[in-house]
Amino acid sequence: MKHHLILKVITKFMVGVIILFGLYVQFHGDYSPGGGFQAGVIIAAAFILYGIVMGLETVQKVVPIWIAQKGAAIGVLLYALTGVFSVVFGYEFLNYAAISPEHPKHGQHYGIIIVELGVGITVSFVMIAIYYSFADRTPRLDDNEW
């Protein structure tokens, strides 16, 4: 892909814009449509686009496979620990009032942000790991055999 200079330059510009939009969807999701799942897919799409255009080895320098695996686990852990935190303080699992007992509405807001962040992290890294799994396999046919 040495001859795709315009595609590479546009991709480098678009990756930042896509990630910025994904962060907007992540943190504005409790006020409008969106949230963790959508933001995770959008952010993962930026890295997948980068990998398709620049090559698998290049994107794996940015996000190595071990970071994708650990990141997915950290996102699930963040989600689960939010629920465990509620139980430890005598509330139901994922009852966000435990986060701010004196202001339950604030606790509800903070809890949703934390849980959606966990979902976004998990979805993003799982999508990247799935891309790595498919992109890293050896093709059965050579491109010339098509």
DSSP labels, the chain: -TT-HHHHHHHHHHHHHHHHHHHHHHHHTTTSS--HHHHHHHHHHHHHHHHHHH-HHHHHHHS-HHHHHHHHHHHHHHHHHHHHHHHHTTS-TT-GGGTSTT-HHHHHHHHHHHHHHHHHHHHHHHHHHHHHHHHTSPPSS-GGG-
The structure's pTM equals 0.85
The one-digit pLDDT tens for each residue of the chain (146 residues) are 566 889 999 999 999 999 999 999 998 876 666 788 999 999 999 999 999 999 999 999 999 999 999 999 999 999 999 999 999 998 999 888 888 888 888 888 888 889 999 999 999 999 999 999 999 877 677 667 66
pLDDT on residue 138: 75
pLDDT on residue 77: 96
